[in-house]
Structure 1
Amino acid sequence: MRRQSLGFVGLALALVFAPAAGACTLGAPGTTQRVAIGDTGRSLLLHVPAKSRGSAPLVFVLHGSGGDGAAILAGSKLEATADRHGFLLAAPDGGIAADKGYVWNIPGVPTVTGKVPGPEDADDVAFLGKTIDWLVAQGCADNRRVYATGLSGGGRMSSWLGCVAADRFAAIAPVVGLRAGNPSAADPRFPDPATCRPARPMPVIAFAGGKDTTNPIEGGGAPYWQYPMGRAEARWADLDACRRPLLERTLASGVIERGYGGCANGAEVIARITPGAGHEWVADNEAMWAFFARHRR
């Protein structure tokens, strides 16, 4: 995929003049460029799909702690998936600078630096919301088809968006980072229900590595992980009012799939575990997109 810059004049015009409905002019189809988002003072890498036809589904891909948007685009290979299926792909940098790269602001949860974000730190949820509004106003994004995925700390952040911004996102797909709220202060082996109260049922597909030692699927790891992946899945099933567990199965690829069905408003909770994989991008991008495409807000 070609990368290009819009340049100062092009960005200024894009900010002042909203294009006609259905006409996205932020970049040539099949290219990735850095775009300044409205008056936020922040920018992100935006990939316009090769099959661009105006207002499109929007997928945010969020980097891991200490990473950035460019790194997660390279590591996830989602630009090629976006080109095949025609969705807009946005890769922002987290709002808190670290010694290396950036980290995400999840209130009440320490970052990899050990610091709990404070009121002086950038509000990443607000920034992503403003990004959605701006891309919709530019005629580029479909407000009802907005999704979030992310790796590790970006998986925690996409989980957090499911908890606190369900009115903006149609589905989430955390990768080696599924959470359902912060670990409970009383017993970190369980999620704290008070920290995840989505405004509506949230479809979730999560990907994990069976040999992940950073966020072990059986629980443990750093203070911001702790409870097992299965408890996160069960909590999302409760939040989505799912009526039945699905039979666990092993796919032809060797990936183990489990989850919950019969959920409110057509939501689903699906987990896919790659037994031999560690803390890495283990997502099946095609399966992720197929899941996203089934859901809209």
Structure 2
Amino acid sequence: MSARPPSRSVRWGANALGLVVLLVSVFPVYWMVSRSFLPRNRIRSDGQTWFPWHGTFANYDRILSGDGFRTALVSSLSVTVLTVVIALFFAFLAAVAVSRFRFRGRTTFVLTLLVVQMIPAEGLFISQYKMLEGVDLLNSVVGLTFVYVASVLPFTVWTLRGFVDGVPRELEEAAMMDGCSRVQAFFTVTLPLLAPGLVATGLFGFIQAWNEFTLALVVMTDPAKETLPVWLIGFSESRSRGVDWGAIMAASTLITIPVIAFFLVVQRRMVTGLTAGAVKG
């Protein structure tokens, strides 16, 4: 017996609840963007405006005219791109090995991934700092990328393992019966079906590396090597006339643009990968 569809009142209630959650989630972003177009005196005034009528781009001019933002942007982009590429490469190999092969220590390896994710990141700061200091990688993109990859890799391996497990082995076996080698069968059949998993884990790694603050604060002590989150804190603290909220809101808006742009591109690729990876009977 088929289940009864929800009544109209239930649907309206669910839609209203979803709309409230959407507004609560979007409002801080809207407030940040709208304040970025207002001069300082209007932001600090008692009567706040909901819409930035007669706004100005002066806040963006102050941010973009300085060298600090551009330098931090290059550092963040370099670290983030390297982290995503390296983490996806090693996580992909590890996920395939754990999912497709049986070897001694396989269960221990999987359990280790779970245990590593439970360790608080703050508990590793001292050891990570001393390790990078010992190999002269402090204040370097390579050193920060190294610790970022180490923090992202366990979750990435665990997530990709689930996607690899979801692809039936019979597809590879059928391709091998048609004359493909194991490697050819994997790259022509299995790999395209893993596109959504690679995209999802890559998005997670991108967001985590782009927005990460505490590790970058510990590793990048040189102001010339700061990433964007660390630079933003230093910028807000360096204003002699008080906090320049307009410039901070403008800088925050600029920092979120790459994440939004990457998500929009990845979302389109994710839908394409899901469609292309559908198995037709």
TM-score, normalised to structure 1's length? 0.23
Structure with the higher strand share, 1 or 2: 1
Structure with the higher helix share, 1 or 2: 2
TM-score, normalised to structure 2's length? 0.24
